[in-house]
Structure 1
Amino acid sequence: MSETIARQQILPLQWRDERSLENFDPGDLPGNVLALQALRDLLQQRRHTALYLWGETGSGKSHLLWAACDALRKQERWALLLTPQTPASAWPDVNDLLAQQPGGLLAVDDAQQLADWQQDWLFGLYNAARTAELAFLACGNAAPAALLLRADLRTRLGWGLALRLTAPDDAVRERVLQRLAHERGYSLSPELLHYMLTHLSRDLSRLAVLMAALDRYALSARRPATVPLLKSLLAEQPQLARTTPESICG
Protein backbone atom coordinates (compact mmCIF):
# COMPACT_ATOMS: atom_id res chain seq x y z
CA MET A 1 0.00 0.00 0.00
CA SER A 2 2.78 2.45 0.85
CA GLU A 3 4.35 1.91 -2.59
CA THR A 4 1.02 2.67 -4.25
CA ILE A 5 0.66 5.90 -2.28
CA ALA A 6 4.20 6.89 -3.19
CA ARG A 7 3.45 6.35 -6.88
CA GLN A 8 0.31 8.47 -6.67
CA GLN A 9 2.23 11.33 -5.06
CA ILE A 10 4.68 11.68 -7.94
CA LEU A 11 2.43 13.97 -9.92
CA PRO A 12 1.75 16.61 -7.22
CA LEU A 13 5.39 16.67 -6.14
CA GLN A 14 6.49 17.52 -9.68
CA TRP A 15 3.69 19.94 -10.34
CA ARG A 16 4.01 23.15 -12.39
CA ASP A 17 0.81 24.94 -11.43
CA GLU A 18 0.87 27.60 -14.16
CA ARG A 19 -0.41 25.15 -16.77
CA SER A 20 -4.20 25.06 -16.84
CA LEU A 21 -7.02 24.48 -19.27
CA GLU A 22 -7.97 28.12 -18.83
CA ASN A 23 -4.62 29.49 -19.99
CA PHE A 24 -4.29 27.18 -22.99
CA ASP A 25 -4.83 29.50 -25.96
CA PRO A 26 -6.21 27.58 -28.96
CA GLY A 27 -6.23 30.71 -31.12
CA ASP A 28 -8.40 30.57 -34.20
CA LEU A 29 -7.24 27.07 -35.09
CA PRO A 30 -10.33 24.80 -35.37
CA GLY A 31 -8.37 21.66 -34.52
CA ASN A 32 -7.01 23.16 -31.31
CA VAL A 33 -10.45 24.43 -30.30
CA LEU A 34 -11.89 20.96 -30.93
CA ALA A 35 -9.11 19.27 -28.93
CA LEU A 36 -9.64 21.55 -25.94
CA GLN A 37 -13.38 20.87 -25.94
CA ALA A 38 -12.83 17.13 -26.33
CA LEU A 39 -10.52 17.19 -23.33
CA ARG A 40 -13.05 19.11 -21.23
CA ASP A 41 -15.69 16.56 -22.21
CA LEU A 42 -13.40 13.68 -21.22
CA LEU A 43 -12.80 15.17 -17.78
CA GLN A 44 -16.53 15.44 -17.12
CA GLN A 45 -17.00 11.70 -17.59
CA ARG A 46 -17.01 9.17 -14.76
CA ARG A 47 -16.44 6.24 -17.06
CA HIS A 48 -13.71 5.07 -19.40
CA THR A 49 -13.12 7.36 -22.35
CA ALA A 50 -9.92 7.82 -24.34
CA LEU A 51 -8.33 10.75 -26.14
CA TYR A 52 -5.05 10.90 -28.06
CA LEU A 53 -3.53 14.26 -29.03
CA TRP A 54 -0.77 14.56 -31.57
CA GLY A 55 1.23 17.29 -33.24
CA GLU A 56 4.65 18.85 -33.60
CA THR A 57 6.79 20.05 -30.71
CA GLY A 58 5.37 23.25 -29.25
CA SER A 59 1.75 22.56 -30.19
CA GLY A 60 0.64 22.36 -26.56
CA LYS A 61 0.26 18.61 -26.04
CA SER A 62 2.15 18.44 -22.74
CA HIS A 63 0.43 21.59 -21.50
CA LEU A 64 -2.96 19.95 -21.93
CA LEU A 65 -1.90 16.69 -20.27
CA TRP A 66 -0.52 18.46 -17.22
CA ALA A 67 -3.57 20.74 -17.08
CA ALA A 68 -5.99 17.82 -17.30
CA CYS A 69 -4.31 16.01 -14.42
CA ASP A 70 -4.24 19.19 -12.37
CA ALA A 71 -7.94 19.79 -12.97
CA LEU A 72 -8.80 16.35 -11.60
CA ARG A 73 -6.35 16.66 -8.72
CA LYS A 74 -8.11 19.84 -7.62
CA GLN A 75 -11.36 17.86 -7.58
CA GLU A 76 -9.63 15.24 -5.40
CA ARG A 77 -9.92 12.69 -8.20
CA TRP A 78 -7.09 10.29 -8.97
CA ALA A 79 -4.73 11.27 -11.80
CA LEU A 80 -1.34 9.99 -12.81
CA LEU A 81 0.91 11.28 -15.58
CA LEU A 82 3.61 8.97 -16.95
CA THR A 83 6.41 10.01 -19.29
CA PRO A 84 9.30 8.13 -20.93
CA GLN A 85 11.47 9.66 -18.19
CA THR A 86 9.36 8.23 -15.35
CA PRO A 87 11.46 5.54 -13.61
CA ALA A 88 10.17 1.99 -13.45
CA SER A 89 9.75 2.29 -9.69
CA ALA A 90 7.10 4.96 -10.25
CA TRP A 91 5.04 3.09 -12.82
CA PRO A 92 1.88 1.61 -11.22
CA ASP A 93 0.92 -2.00 -11.61
CA VAL A 94 -2.45 -3.19 -12.85
CA ASN A 95 -3.82 -3.61 -9.33
CA ASP A 96 -3.02 0.02 -8.51
CA LEU A 97 -5.37 1.12 -11.28
CA LEU A 98 -8.04 -1.42 -10.48
CA ALA A 99 -8.14 -0.07 -6.90
CA GLN A 100 -9.08 3.46 -8.05
CA GLN A 101 -12.56 4.91 -8.10
CA PRO A 102 -14.18 5.47 -11.53
CA GLY A 103 -13.55 8.90 -12.96
CA GLY A 104 -9.80 9.03 -12.49
CA LEU A 105 -7.27 9.61 -15.25
CA LEU A 106 -4.19 7.85 -16.59
CA ALA A 107 -2.15 10.14 -18.85
CA VAL A 108 0.94 9.35 -20.93
CA ASP A 109 3.16 12.00 -22.48
CA ASP A 110 5.45 11.57 -25.52
CA ALA A 111 4.19 8.11 -26.41
CA GLN A 112 6.55 7.96 -29.38
CA GLN A 113 9.53 7.80 -27.00
CA LEU A 114 8.34 4.89 -24.88
CA ALA A 115 10.90 2.12 -24.44
CA ASP A 116 9.96 -1.49 -25.15
CA TRP A 117 9.39 -2.29 -21.47
CA GLN A 118 7.23 0.84 -21.10
CA GLN A 119 5.13 -0.17 -24.09
CA ASP A 120 4.58 -3.62 -22.60
CA TRP A 121 3.64 -2.08 -19.26
CA LEU A 122 1.33 0.53 -20.78
CA PHE A 123 -0.58 -2.12 -22.72
CA GLY A 124 -1.60 -3.74 -19.45
CA LEU A 125 -2.35 -0.39 -17.80
CA TYR A 126 -4.62 0.66 -20.65
CA ASN A 127 -6.67 -2.51 -20.29
CA ALA A 128 -6.85 -1.98 -16.52
CA ALA A 129 -7.99 1.61 -17.03
CA ARG A 130 -10.89 0.35 -19.18
CA THR A 131 -11.90 -2.15 -16.52
CA ALA A 132 -11.67 0.42 -13.70
CA GLU A 133 -13.60 3.08 -15.68
CA LEU A 134 -10.62 5.44 -15.71
CA ALA A 135 -10.15 7.94 -18.52
CA PHE A 136 -7.06 7.58 -20.69
CA LEU A 137 -5.21 10.51 -22.24
CA ALA A 138 -2.02 10.32 -24.27
CA CYS A 139 -0.04 12.38 -26.72
CA GLY A 140 2.63 11.85 -29.33
CA ASN A 141 4.26 13.44 -32.35
CA ALA A 142 2.23 11.50 -34.91
CA ALA A 143 -1.13 9.82 -35.40
CA PRO A 144 -1.41 6.44 -33.61
CA ALA A 145 -1.02 4.37 -36.78
CA ALA A 146 2.27 6.15 -37.60
CA LEU A 147 3.94 5.59 -34.22
CA LEU A 148 6.85 3.13 -34.05
CA LEU A 149 5.27 1.19 -31.20
CA ARG A 150 4.08 -2.39 -30.78
CA ALA A 151 1.08 -2.93 -33.03
CA ASP A 152 -1.46 -3.73 -30.31
CA LEU A 153 -0.51 -0.60 -28.37
CA ARG A 154 -0.93 1.54 -31.49
CA THR A 155 -4.38 0.03 -31.82
CA ARG A 156 -5.25 0.89 -28.22
CA LEU A 157 -4.10 4.50 -28.68
CA GLY A 158 -6.41 4.82 -31.68
CA TRP A 159 -9.53 3.38 -30.00
CA GLY A 160 -10.75 6.78 -28.80
CA LEU A 161 -10.64 10.17 -30.45
CA ALA A 162 -7.31 11.06 -32.06
CA LEU A 163 -7.02 14.79 -32.68
CA ARG A 164 -4.23 16.86 -34.14
CA LEU A 165 -2.92 20.02 -32.48
CA THR A 166 -1.27 22.78 -34.49
CA ALA A 167 1.56 24.93 -33.16
CA PRO A 168 0.41 28.46 -32.25
CA ASP A 169 0.91 31.33 -34.66
CA ASP A 170 2.64 34.59 -33.73
CA ALA A 171 -0.59 36.21 -32.53
CA VAL A 172 -1.12 33.44 -29.98
CA ARG A 173 2.53 33.43 -28.95
CA GLU A 174 2.39 37.19 -28.39
CA ARG A 175 -0.73 36.90 -26.22
CA VAL A 176 0.77 34.10 -24.14
CA LEU A 177 4.08 35.91 -23.58
CA GLN A 178 2.30 39.09 -22.56
CA ARG A 179 0.08 37.10 -20.20
CA LEU A 180 3.12 35.54 -18.58
CA ALA A 181 4.64 39.00 -18.16
CA HIS A 182 1.41 40.48 -16.74
CA GLU A 183 1.20 37.66 -14.20
CA ARG A 184 4.61 38.79 -13.02
CA GLY A 185 3.60 42.43 -12.77
CA TYR A 186 4.98 44.01 -15.94
CA SER A 187 4.50 44.23 -19.70
CA LEU A 188 6.87 43.25 -22.47
CA SER A 189 8.07 46.21 -24.48
CA PRO A 190 7.48 46.02 -28.25
CA GLU A 191 11.25 45.67 -28.75
CA LEU A 192 11.60 42.78 -26.31
CA LEU A 193 8.50 41.03 -27.60
CA HIS A 194 9.70 41.33 -31.20
CA TYR A 195 13.11 39.95 -30.25
CA MET A 196 11.61 36.96 -28.46
CA LEU A 197 9.26 36.18 -31.34
CA THR A 198 11.93 36.46 -34.05
CA HIS A 199 15.18 35.28 -32.45
CA LEU A 200 14.18 32.57 -29.99
CA SER A 201 12.40 29.21 -30.05
CA ARG A 202 8.86 29.09 -31.39
CA ASP A 203 8.05 26.54 -28.68
CA LEU A 204 5.95 28.33 -26.06
CA SER A 205 6.96 25.87 -23.37
CA ARG A 206 10.60 26.84 -23.86
CA LEU A 207 9.75 30.53 -23.96
CA ALA A 208 7.79 30.15 -20.71
CA VAL A 209 10.86 28.74 -18.98
CA LEU A 210 12.92 31.60 -20.33
CA MET A 211 10.34 34.14 -19.15
CA ALA A 212 10.50 32.79 -15.60
CA ALA A 213 14.30 32.97 -15.64
CA LEU A 214 14.25 36.49 -17.07
CA ASP A 215 11.89 37.63 -14.34
CA ARG A 216 14.21 36.30 -11.63
CA TYR A 217 17.23 37.81 -13.38
CA ALA A 218 15.60 41.23 -13.68
CA LEU A 219 14.59 41.20 -10.01
CA SER A 220 18.08 40.26 -8.86
CA ALA A 221 19.63 42.93 -11.09
CA ARG A 222 16.96 45.47 -10.13
CA ARG A 223 16.55 46.32 -13.79
CA PRO A 224 13.53 46.17 -16.10
CA ALA A 225 13.25 43.35 -18.62
CA THR A 226 14.85 44.59 -21.83
CA VAL A 227 16.57 43.11 -24.87
CA PRO A 228 20.07 43.88 -23.48
CA LEU A 229 19.13 42.24 -20.16
CA LEU A 230 17.81 39.16 -21.97
CA LYS A 231 21.03 38.91 -24.00
CA SER A 232 23.02 39.19 -20.78
CA LEU A 233 20.98 36.39 -19.23
CA LEU A 234 21.51 34.12 -22.24
CA ALA A 235 25.24 34.87 -22.21
CA GLU A 236 25.43 33.77 -18.57
CA GLN A 237 23.01 30.85 -18.88
CA PRO A 238 23.16 29.61 -22.49
CA GLN A 239 21.37 26.41 -21.51
CA LEU A 240 18.14 28.44 -21.38
CA ALA A 241 18.21 28.67 -25.15
CA ARG A 242 17.94 24.88 -25.34
CA THR A 243 15.60 24.25 -22.42
CA THR A 244 13.48 21.15 -22.96
CA PRO A 245 9.67 21.31 -22.80
CA GLU A 246 9.69 19.01 -19.74
CA SER A 247 11.27 21.86 -17.75
CA ILE A 248 8.28 24.14 -18.33
CA CYS A 249 7.20 26.37 -15.49
CA GLY A 250 4.14 27.76 -17.22
Structure 2
Amino acid sequence: MFVSRQLLLDFGGPPSATFDNFITGANTELVTQFATLNETLANGNAADRSFYLWGEVGSGRSHLLHALCHRAGAGRARLAGPWAALAAFEFDPALALYAIDDCDALSPVQQIAAFNLFNEIKAHSNSAFIATGQVPPRSLKIREDLRTRLGWGLVYQLIALDDVGKLEALISAAQARGITLTAEVPPYLLTHFRRDMPTLIGLLDALDRFSLEQQRPITLPLLRTMLLNEKVAALTAPLRFE
Protein backbone atom coordinates (compact mmCIF):
# COMPACT_ATOMS: atom_id res chain seq x y z
CA MET A 1 0.00 0.00 0.00
CA PHE A 2 1.37 3.39 -0.96
CA VAL A 3 1.10 6.61 1.00
CA SER A 4 0.17 9.89 -0.67
CA ARG A 5 1.14 13.31 0.60
CA GLN A 6 -1.96 15.50 0.83
CA LEU A 7 -2.77 15.06 -2.84
CA LEU A 8 -5.86 17.21 -2.82
CA LEU A 9 -4.73 19.66 -0.19
CA ASP A 10 -1.19 20.50 -1.20
CA PHE A 11 -0.74 20.87 -4.93
CA GLY A 12 1.37 23.67 -6.37
CA GLY A 13 0.00 27.05 -7.26
CA PRO A 14 -2.10 27.10 -10.45
CA PRO A 15 -1.37 29.50 -13.32
CA SER A 16 -2.66 33.04 -12.88
CA ALA A 17 -6.28 33.58 -13.91
CA THR A 18 -6.25 35.59 -17.14
CA PHE A 19 -8.52 36.17 -20.11
CA ASP A 20 -6.27 33.91 -22.17
CA ASN A 21 -7.01 30.86 -20.02
CA PHE A 22 -10.72 31.57 -19.53
CA ILE A 23 -13.01 29.37 -21.63
CA THR A 24 -15.64 31.80 -22.88
CA GLY A 25 -18.43 29.38 -23.72
CA ALA A 26 -21.73 31.27 -24.07
CA ASN A 27 -20.32 34.43 -22.44
CA THR A 28 -18.73 36.14 -25.45
CA GLU A 29 -20.36 39.55 -24.93
CA LEU A 30 -19.41 39.67 -21.26
CA VAL A 31 -15.81 38.53 -21.74
CA THR A 32 -15.29 40.96 -24.62
CA GLN A 33 -16.62 43.81 -22.49
CA PHE A 34 -14.35 42.94 -19.58
CA ALA A 35 -11.26 42.24 -21.69
CA THR A 36 -11.37 45.77 -23.11
CA LEU A 37 -12.49 47.58 -19.94
CA ASN A 38 -9.03 48.68 -18.86
CA GLU A 39 -8.33 50.18 -22.26
CA THR A 40 -11.62 52.09 -22.40
CA LEU A 41 -11.04 53.45 -18.91
CA ALA A 42 -7.53 54.56 -19.84
CA ASN A 43 -8.86 56.31 -22.94
CA GLY A 44 -11.55 58.04 -20.93
CA ASN A 45 -14.38 56.69 -23.11
CA ALA A 46 -15.89 53.99 -20.88
CA ALA A 47 -19.65 54.28 -21.32
CA ASP A 48 -20.27 51.84 -18.48
CA ARG A 49 -18.31 51.82 -15.23
CA SER A 50 -20.51 49.72 -12.95
CA PHE A 51 -20.99 45.98 -13.43
CA TYR A 52 -22.59 43.17 -11.52
CA LEU A 53 -21.85 39.60 -12.53
CA TRP A 54 -23.79 36.65 -11.18
CA GLY A 55 -23.71 32.91 -11.71
CA GLU A 56 -23.57 29.56 -9.98
CA VAL A 57 -20.56 28.37 -8.00
CA GLY A 58 -17.82 27.30 -10.39
CA SER A 59 -19.08 29.36 -13.32
CA GLY A 60 -15.93 31.51 -13.39
CA ARG A 61 -16.93 34.70 -11.58
CA SER A 62 -13.75 34.86 -9.49
CA HIS A 63 -11.61 33.94 -12.50
CA LEU A 64 -12.90 36.96 -14.41
CA LEU A 65 -12.28 39.32 -11.51
CA HIS A 66 -8.71 38.06 -11.19
CA ALA A 67 -8.29 38.38 -14.96
CA LEU A 68 -9.49 42.00 -14.83
CA CYS A 69 -7.03 42.83 -12.05
CA HIS A 70 -4.24 41.01 -13.87
CA ARG A 71 -4.93 42.98 -17.06
CA ALA A 72 -4.98 46.28 -15.14
CA GLY A 73 -1.52 45.64 -13.72
CA ALA A 74 0.08 46.17 -10.34
CA GLY A 75 -1.13 49.20 -8.43
CA ARG A 76 -4.10 49.79 -10.74
CA ALA A 77 -6.70 47.37 -9.35
CA ARG A 78 -7.91 46.01 -6.03
CA LEU A 79 -9.80 42.82 -5.30
CA ALA A 80 -11.90 42.57 -2.14
CA GLY A 81 -14.50 40.21 -0.74
CA PRO A 82 -15.78 38.64 2.49
CA TRP A 83 -12.22 37.70 3.47
CA ALA A 84 -10.84 41.24 3.11
CA ALA A 85 -10.11 43.86 5.75
CA LEU A 86 -12.14 47.07 5.65
CA ALA A 87 -9.14 48.92 4.22
CA ALA A 88 -9.65 47.01 0.97
CA PHE A 89 -12.97 48.83 0.48
CA GLU A 90 -11.47 52.32 0.77
CA PHE A 91 -11.36 54.56 -2.29
CA ASP A 92 -7.97 55.32 -3.81
CA PRO A 93 -7.87 57.70 -6.81
CA ALA A 94 -4.79 55.91 -8.14
CA LEU A 95 -6.82 52.76 -8.82
CA ALA A 96 -8.74 52.13 -12.04
CA LEU A 97 -10.60 48.98 -11.00
CA TYR A 98 -12.35 47.94 -7.81
CA ALA A 99 -13.52 44.33 -7.83
CA ILE A 100 -15.65 42.85 -5.04
CA ASP A 101 -16.25 39.11 -5.11
CA ASP A 102 -19.11 37.28 -3.40
CA CYS A 103 -21.13 40.34 -2.42
CA ASP A 104 -23.84 38.07 -1.02
CA ALA A 105 -21.41 36.96 1.69
CA LEU A 106 -20.21 40.39 2.85
CA SER A 107 -20.59 41.16 6.54
CA PRO A 108 -22.88 44.05 7.55
CA VAL A 109 -19.93 46.40 8.08
CA GLN A 110 -18.39 45.35 4.76
CA GLN A 111 -21.70 46.08 3.05
CA ILE A 112 -21.62 49.63 4.39
CA ALA A 113 -18.03 50.00 3.18
CA ALA A 114 -18.94 48.65 -0.27
CA PHE A 115 -21.88 51.07 -0.50
CA ASN A 116 -19.63 54.03 0.35
CA LEU A 117 -17.01 52.82 -2.13
CA PHE A 118 -19.59 52.56 -4.90
CA ASN A 119 -20.67 56.16 -4.33
CA GLU A 120 -17.05 57.38 -4.40
CA ILE A 121 -16.39 55.56 -7.66
CA LYS A 122 -19.52 56.99 -9.29
CA ALA A 123 -18.19 60.45 -8.49
CA HIS A 124 -14.91 59.79 -10.34
CA SER A 125 -14.92 59.25 -14.10
CA ASN A 126 -11.68 57.27 -14.36
CA SER A 127 -12.51 54.16 -12.32
CA ALA A 128 -14.89 51.19 -12.50
CA PHE A 129 -16.74 49.03 -9.97
CA ILE A 130 -17.25 45.33 -10.64
CA ALA A 131 -19.06 43.06 -8.18
CA THR A 132 -20.17 39.44 -8.22
CA GLY A 133 -22.67 37.20 -6.48
CA GLN A 134 -24.50 33.92 -6.91
CA VAL A 135 -27.88 35.53 -7.64
CA PRO A 136 -29.13 38.63 -9.50
CA PRO A 137 -29.25 41.93 -7.57
CA ARG A 138 -32.98 41.73 -6.82
CA SER A 139 -32.44 38.42 -4.99
CA LEU A 140 -29.46 39.48 -2.87
CA LYS A 141 -30.06 39.35 0.87
CA ILE A 142 -28.00 42.40 1.72
CA ARG A 143 -28.62 46.05 2.66
CA GLU A 144 -31.28 47.57 0.42
CA ASP A 145 -29.15 50.58 -0.48
CA LEU A 146 -26.23 48.40 -1.62
CA ARG A 147 -28.53 45.94 -3.39
CA THR A 148 -30.05 48.84 -5.34
CA ARG A 149 -26.65 50.24 -6.27
CA LEU A 150 -25.48 46.87 -7.59
CA GLY A 151 -28.41 46.86 -10.00
CA TRP A 152 -27.73 50.34 -11.37
CA GLY A 153 -25.10 49.36 -13.93
CA LEU A 154 -24.79 46.50 -16.39
CA VAL A 155 -25.88 43.15 -14.97
CA TYR A 156 -24.62 39.95 -16.59
CA GLN A 157 -25.43 36.35 -15.88
CA LEU A 158 -22.35 34.18 -16.32
CA ILE A 159 -23.49 31.00 -18.07
CA ALA A 160 -21.74 27.88 -16.80
CA LEU A 161 -19.85 25.78 -19.33
CA ASP A 162 -21.56 22.83 -20.97
CA ASP A 163 -19.81 19.46 -21.13
CA VAL A 164 -17.89 20.37 -24.29
CA GLY A 165 -16.69 23.58 -22.66
CA LYS A 166 -15.66 21.77 -19.49
CA LEU A 167 -13.61 19.28 -21.46
CA GLU A 168 -11.98 22.18 -23.30
CA ALA A 169 -11.30 23.90 -19.97
CA LEU A 170 -9.70 20.76 -18.50
CA ILE A 171 -7.48 20.28 -21.54
CA SER A 172 -6.54 23.98 -21.53
CA ALA A 173 -5.74 23.88 -17.80
CA ALA A 174 -3.55 20.81 -18.34
CA GLN A 175 -1.67 22.52 -21.16
CA ALA A 176 -1.15 25.65 -19.06
CA ARG A 177 0.41 23.49 -16.35
CA GLY A 178 2.56 21.49 -18.76
CA ILE A 179 0.57 18.33 -18.03
CA THR A 180 0.25 15.61 -20.66
CA LEU A 181 -3.02 13.67 -20.41
CA THR A 182 -4.12 10.60 -22.28
CA ALA A 183 -7.37 11.16 -24.16
CA GLU A 184 -9.59 9.22 -21.77
CA VAL A 185 -8.64 11.12 -18.60
CA PRO A 186 -10.67 14.38 -19.07
CA PRO A 187 -13.95 12.56 -19.93
CA TYR A 188 -13.47 10.27 -16.93
CA LEU A 189 -12.99 13.22 -14.59
CA LEU A 190 -16.10 14.87 -16.01
CA THR A 191 -18.35 11.82 -15.69
CA HIS A 192 -17.20 10.39 -12.35
CA PHE A 193 -16.98 13.42 -10.08
CA ARG A 194 -18.86 16.57 -9.20
CA ARG A 195 -19.02 18.61 -12.37
CA ASP A 196 -18.15 22.11 -11.15
CA MET A 197 -14.86 23.45 -12.46
CA PRO A 198 -13.14 24.07 -9.08
CA THR A 199 -13.57 20.37 -8.23
CA LEU A 200 -12.41 19.23 -11.66
CA ILE A 201 -9.36 21.51 -11.69
CA GLY A 202 -8.53 20.46 -8.12
CA LEU A 203 -8.56 16.81 -9.17
CA LEU A 204 -6.40 17.62 -12.18
CA ASP A 205 -3.82 19.30 -9.94
CA ALA A 206 -3.94 16.38 -7.51
CA LEU A 207 -3.37 13.96 -10.36
CA ASP A 208 -0.41 15.98 -11.58
CA ARG A 209 1.17 15.86 -8.11
CA PHE A 210 0.53 12.13 -7.83
CA SER A 211 2.04 11.54 -11.26
CA LEU A 212 5.23 13.31 -10.19
CA GLU A 213 5.39 11.35 -6.94
CA GLN A 214 4.90 8.03 -8.70
CA GLN A 215 7.10 9.01 -11.68
CA ARG A 216 4.45 7.71 -14.05
CA PRO A 217 2.60 9.41 -16.93
CA ILE A 218 -0.97 10.53 -16.36
CA THR A 219 -3.25 7.79 -17.62
CA LEU A 220 -6.60 6.40 -16.61
CA PRO A 221 -4.96 3.51 -14.69
CA LEU A 222 -2.87 6.04 -12.75
CA LEU A 223 -5.99 8.04 -11.89
CA ARG A 224 -7.71 4.90 -10.64
CA THR A 225 -4.64 4.00 -8.62
CA MET A 226 -4.67 7.42 -6.99
CA LEU A 227 -8.30 6.99 -6.04
CA LEU A 228 -7.60 3.68 -4.33
CA ASN A 229 -5.62 5.52 -1.71
CA GLU A 230 -7.62 5.75 1.51
CA LYS A 231 -7.08 9.49 2.00
CA VAL A 232 -7.96 10.42 -1.56
CA ALA A 233 -11.00 8.13 -1.56
CA ALA A 234 -12.29 9.75 1.61
CA LEU A 235 -11.92 13.23 0.15
CA THR A 236 -13.43 12.44 -3.24
CA ALA A 237 -16.14 9.89 -2.43
CA PRO A 238 -18.84 12.54 -1.74
CA LEU A 239 -18.09 14.09 -5.13
CA ARG A 240 -18.69 11.02 -7.27
CA PHE A 241 -21.59 10.39 -9.63
CA GLU A 242 -23.50 13.57 -8.82
TM (norm. structure 1) is 0.78
Partner of 1:150: 143
1:104 to partner: Cα distance: 1.0
Q: Work out whether 1:115 is the aligned partner of 2:107.
A: yes
* 8 Å CA contact retained: 1:51, 1:136: yes
| Distance (whole Å) between structure 2 residues aligned to residue 233 and residue 100 of structure 1 | 50
The match for 1:211 among 185, 197, 204 is: 204
State the aligned residue count.
218
* 8 Å CA contact retained: 1:58, 1:204: yes
Q: What is the 5 A alignment of 1:75-90? A: 76-88=74-86, 90=87
Instruction: Select between 108-117 and 129-138 the one with higher mean Cα deviation.
Output: 129-138
Runs of 4+ in 1 over 6 A off after TM superposition: 240-243
- Residue 96 of structure 2 aligns with an amino acid whose one-letter code is G
Partner of 2:184: 191
1:111-134 C-alpha deviation (Å, 9 max, x unpaired):
111111111111111112223432
- Residue 129 of structure 1 aligns with an amino acid whose one-letter code is I
Secondary structure at the aligned position of 1:123 is classed as helix
1:77 to partner: Cα distance: 4.8
* 8 Å CA contact retained: 2:190, 2:200: no
1:17-50 C-alpha deviation (Å, 9 max, x unpaired):
43111221112x2xx1111112124322146701
1:78 to partner: Cα distance: 1.5
Mark the CA change 1:241 to 1:61 in structure 2 (over 3 Å): closer, same or farther: farther
Mark the CA change 1:35 to 1:199 in structure 2 (over 3 Å): closer, same or farther: same
* 8 Å CA contact retained: 1:178, 1:187: no
Instruction: Select between 215-224 and 36-45 the one with higher mean Cα deviation.
Output: 36-45
| Distance (whole Å) between structure 2 residues aligned to residue 185 and residue 241 of structure 1 | 27
Partner of 2:116: 124
1:110 to partner: Cα distance: 0.9
- Residue 76 of structure 2 aligns with an amino acid whose one-letter code is W
1:205 to partner: Cα distance: 2.6
| Distance (whole Å) between structure 2 residues aligned to residue 106 and residue 16 of structure 1 | 23
- Residue 123 of structure 2 aligns with an amino acid whose one-letter code is T
Q: What is the 5 A alignment of 1:204-243? A: 204-234=197-227, 235=229, 236-237=231-232, 238-239=234-235
TM (norm. structure 2) is 0.80
Secondary structure at the aligned position of 1:190 is classed as coil
Instruction: Select between 122-131 and 105-114 the one with higher mean Cα deviation.
Output: 122-131
- Residue 68 of structure 1 aligns with an amino acid whose one-letter code is L
Mark the CA change 1:147 to 1:126 in structure 2 (over 3 Å): closer, same or farther: same
Which one has the bigger helix percentage? 1
1:187 to partner: Cα distance: 3.4
Mark the CA change 1:104 to 1:241 in structure 2 (over 3 Å): closer, same or farther: farther
The match for 1:200 among 182, 189, 193 is: 193
* 8 Å CA contact retained: 2:89, 2:113: no
Partner of 2:9: none
Secondary structure at the aligned position of 2:194 is classed as coil
- Residue 24 of structure 1 aligns with an amino acid whose one-letter code is F
1:137 to partner: Cα distance: 0.7
Indicate the structure (1 or 2) with the bigger Cα radius of gyration. Answer: 2
Mark the CA change 1:184 to 1:38 in structure 2 (over 3 Å): closer, same or farther: closer
Mark the CA change 1:240 to 1:126 in structure 2 (over 3 Å): closer, same or farther: farther
| Distance (whole Å) between structure 2 residues aligned to residue 192 and residue 17 of structure 1 | 20
Query: Which 5+ residue runs of structure 2 have no aligned equivalent?
Result: 1-12
1:185 to partner: Cα distance: 3.4
Query: Which 5+ residue runs of structure 1 have no aligned equivalent?
Result: 1-14, 244-250
